[in-house]
Structure 1
Amino acid sequence: MYEYEFVNIKNDWHGEPKENEEEIIKKYAKDGWRLHSITPLSTTTGGTTDLKLIFEKEAQ
């Protein structure tokens, strides 16, 4: 069985992440999490508003 952690990263009005996603991934990896996926969340006009990072690790 696995457990999951979800992290949203907001984008600025240019569509660039406001936080460094690579640093977030490294931080979670140190705690035993594996990056499962990154999903762009978009508005109805097609612009990317956020990135959703999904991490997983085996449940203890």
Structure 2
Amino acid sequence: MYTYKVVTIKSSWKGTPKEDEEQIMNEAAAQGWRLHSIIPFSTTTGGTTDLKLVFEKVAEM
């Protein structure tokens, strides 16, 4: 069985992430999380408003 964690990274009005994705992924990996997927959320005009990073790890029993 797995457990999941979702981290939201907001983007600036130019579409640039406001946080360092690589740093977030490395910090999560150091805590035992594995990146499962990245989900971009878009505006109606096609720009990306934010990213959802989905992490998983084996659940402790």
Structure 2: runs of 5+ lacking an equivalent: none
Aligned length: 60
Structure 1: runs of 5+ lacking an equivalent: none
Moved over 6 A (4+): none
Task: Report how far residue 19 of structure 1 moved.
Answer: 0.2
- Identity among equivalent positions (%) equals 65
The TM-score, its normalising length taken from structure 2, stands at: 0.95
The TM-score, its normalising length taken from structure 1, stands at: 0.96
Partners of 2:59 and 2:44 lie apart in 1 by: 36
Q: CA RMSD in A?
A: 0.5
